[in-house]
Amino acid sequence: MSITSEYIVTGMTCEHCVMSVTEEVGEVPGVEQVDVDLASGRVTVVGDADAGAVRAAVQEAGYEVAA
C-alpha cells in the first residue's frame, strides 16, 4: 500500500523550480510518484519514503519545506 504525503515548499517561482524539486524528490528511495503544484507550492509524494529524506531532497534542490 502506497502512502501519500503532502509538503508545502516555499521559494518556487517557475517551471524550472518544479522540475528541480520533482527530480530531487523523485530520487529519494521509496518515492513512486511526485506531483508539484507551482501555484500552491504543494508537493504530493506517493510511496513509502522517509519524510526527512524528502525534506533533505527539497533543500538539495534549493528550496525549503514550510513548517
Instruction: Record the pTM.
Output: 0.94
Q: What's residue 22's pLDDT?
A: 98
Domain range enclosing 21: 4-65
pLDDT in tens, the chain (67 residues): 689 999 999 999 999 999 999 999 999 999 999 999 999 999 999 999 999 999 999 999 999 999 6
Q: What's residue 67's pLDDT?
A: 67
Q: What's residue 44's pLDDT?
A: 98
CATH number assigned to the domain comprising residue 8:
3.30.70.100
Q: What's residue 26's pLDDT?
A: 98
For the chain, how many structural domains are there in total? 1
Report the alpha-carbon distance of residue 29 to residue 38 in Å, rounded: 23
How many other CB atoms are there within 10 angstroms of residue 57's CB atom?
Answer: 23
